[in-house]
């Protein structure tokens, strides 16, 4: 496909947008759960897997903002950056790469917190982590495809 081909319909761009929408949905669920007293987290409770323990720990907030809200903001921002119209803006490629890289660093930190501070794993959080890493891979895949078209 030529470099000026439709950037928004490449498999990587479709994968990225779909992943960002899924991440938004999961983050919205976690945000609603954070602010509700229902504690209806559909997550098994065991010594190792315990979503409530993770999402209510002292590390579930960053500077007073729930991590779930930060995730929701991240994914909604990514949805905006990954729409077909936004993909037509090559100058946003660096923003997409930087945002997903920062998101991935945050995910690595949160995984470390779950494993070594909370001593429990949240399955919903793990789904968000997978979406974030998949998003980084899809954005890099898309950018790589475009560069190979030019070269």
Higher pLDDT, 1 or 101: 101
Compute the half-sphere exposure of residue 55: CA atoms within 13 Å on the CB side of its CA.
29
Domain map (residue ranges) of the chain: 9-146
- Cα distance between residue 13 and residue 141, in whole Å: 9
Going from the C-alpha of 117 to that of each of 24, 65, 68, 123, the distances in angstroms are: 26, 19, 18, 16
pLDDT over 90 at 6, yes or no: no
CATH superfamily of 9-146: VKOR domain (1.20.1440.130)
Q: Tell me how long the chain is.
A: 151
pLDDT tens digits for 98-150?
Answer: 999 999 999 999 999 999 999 999 999 999 999 999 999 999 998 886 655 55
Q: What is the mean pLDDT of the chain?
A: 89
The radius of gyration computed from the CA coordinates of the chain, to the nearest angstrom, equals: 17
How far is the C-alpha of 82 from the C-alpha of 120, rounded, in Å? 33
- Torsion angle defined by CA atoms of residues 79, 84, 85 and 87, in that order, rounded to the nearest 10 degrees: 80
pTM of full prediction above 0.95: no
């Amino acid at each position: 496909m030529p470099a000026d081909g439709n950037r928004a319909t490449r498999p990587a761009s479709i994968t990225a947008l779909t992943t960002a929408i899924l991440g938004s949905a999961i983050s919205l669920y976690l945000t609603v759960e954070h602010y509700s007293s229902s504690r209806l987290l559909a997550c098994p409770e065991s010594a190792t897997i315990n979503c409530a323990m993770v999402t209510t720990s002292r590390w579930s907030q960053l500077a007073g903002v729930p991590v779930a809200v930060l995730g929701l903001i991240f994914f909604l921002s990514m949805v905006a950056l990954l729409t077909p119209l936004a993909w037509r803006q090559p100058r946003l490629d660096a923003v997409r790469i930087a945002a997903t890289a920062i998101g991935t660093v945050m995910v690595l930190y949160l995984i470390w917190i779950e494993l070594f501070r909370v001593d429990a794993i949240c399955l919903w959080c793990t789904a968000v982590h997978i979406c974030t890493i998949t998003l980084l891979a899809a954005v890099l895949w898309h950018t790589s495809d475009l560069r190979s078209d030019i070269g």
